[in-house]
Amino acid sequence: MDENKGNISTLAIIKHNFGRPAVMTWGWPLMILSLITLAFLGLRCLLNDPEMLFPATSLVGCSALMILLTLCALVLPAVMFSRGIEDRVTGHYTGIGTLILAFISGVPLMMIRIPLYNIIAWLTLRFTGKSIYPVFFHADPDSTYGSVLAILCDTVIPAFGVALFFFGFLWTRFKGTDRFKALVVVTIAYVLFSMDFTSILAIAAAGIWCSYLRARTHNMWAPFLCLISMNLSEMMLPGTLSRIDIFEVQTYADIGTTYFYSSLPSFFMGMVLILFFIRVLDSFSISVRHEITGMEYDDTIPAFDKSINLSLLLTLAVFITVWVLIIKGVYL
């Protein structure tokens, strides 16, 4: 009899920590995200043979993997785990003006992102003597068709999946009084999912700003447009700010001083412009606060600590494994 009680207790613990919760917490979808991400890292390793019809580093192969990863790890979990309109994953429509502001803010965010990328690239080469490539990368497009495909797989589709999962669904799993905790968790999860060591600071900056946009504009379309603008502005203005090509440099001595001369002014100018957007969006948020409180469904949202359990530890274990493999370069 005592043994049966022990078995019931063990099963209850497993169900509580790993089973699908009756009311969705923020930790459970992160656990699913981490497991799917690990599976795609394994798939990336299997498709590394250059003799394959579409190897993982070809434009077509990388595009297929990125689209499939976005669908499986971001879009489907966000759609399946939400309660539809009750969760308001996409948020509230607060006018075209905020969406335009969000889109334009992608330009100063790009001016911040590239210097941070260059700093990590230089530090990595300086102290480790090697570059750490992102998991998903592809050869440069050599045609108009290739350029369109690259924009879709590098910018539009990932931006939609990221905005829907992180700044849409995951954001709604926090109470209105826990917005700072939401910003921290969403940003960390976004960085871990990126699987790009050299861009770690740049992605963290993008995650913080997109979380801020989500909080001030009250919808996921603002982060979506900002991410698109950030990537497109770098593509459309290639001579404005130089990004270190880690696929070309051999040592840190190959990195010219012009990267730093252009990066520092760009970073400070980007910060000044971001402060301007903060002031405008803060004023906007105050003006609509009486209409949109962001806490309509707080009574049904679990407390923050409900997701601090074994499922979160499994999430961290999976992502630690993924990042150790990335740093060691086992997928190459």
pLDDT digit string (tens) for 98-110?
999 999 999 999 9
pLDDT attached to residue 10: 78
Question: Which amino acid belongs to residue 155?
Answer: T
Mean pLDDT of the region 49-66: 85
Q: Indicate the range of 68-72, 127-131, 322-326 predicted with least confidence.
A: 127-131
Instruction: Report which residue type is found at 54.
Output: F
Tokens of 23: 């009311």
- Could you read off the pLDDT of 261-272 as tens digits, one per residue? 778 888 999 999
Q: What is the pLDDT of residues 217-226, one digit of tens each?
A: 999 999 999 9
pLDDT given for residue 7 in this prediction: 54
Q: Under DSSP, is residue 244 helix (H, G, I), strand (E, B) or coil?
A: coil
Distance between CA atoms of residues 125 and 109, nearest Å: 25
Task: Give SS3 for 238.
Answer: coil
The answer on pLDDT for 256 being more than 80 is no
pLDDT of residue 249: 85
- Report which of residues 1 and 289 the model is more confident about: 289
pLDDT confidence tier of residue 163, bands split at 50, 70 and 90:
very high
* Contacts for 186 with CB less than 8 Å, ≥ 6 apart: 166, 167, 170, 171, 207, 211
Q: Report the helix count and the strand count for the chain, using DSSP H and E.
A: 13, 0
- pLDDT for 79 equals 92
Question: Which pLDDT band, with edges at 50, 70 and 90, does 158 fall under?
Answer: very high
**Is a pLDDT exceeding 80 seen at residue 50?**
no
pLDDT at position 287: 67
Which is higher by pLDDT, 229 or 126?
Answer: 229
pLDDT value of residue 239: 62
Looking at residue 154, what is its pLDDT? 92
* 177's tokens: 């009084």
For the chain, what are the domain ranges?
97-309
> Mean pLDDT across the stretch 88-95?
86
Stretch 181-198: mean pLDDT: 96
Stronger pLDDT, 161 or 12, i.e. the higher one: 161
Render pLDDT for 301-328 as a digit per residue (tens, 0 to 9): 888 887 888 889 999 999 999 999 999 8
pLDDT above 90 (res 235): no
Mean pLDDT of 64-69: 95
* Mean pLDDT (whole number) for 232-240: 77
28-37, 120-129, 251-260: segment of lowest average pLDDT: 251-260
pLDDT band at 295 (very low <50, low <70, confident <90, very high): low
**Does 1 score more than 50 pLDDT?**
no
Separation between Cα atoms, residue 272 and residue 278, nearest integer Å:
10
Whether residue 58 has pLDDT greater than 70: yes
Task: Give, for 159, the enclosing helix (H) or strand (E).
Answer: helix 157-164
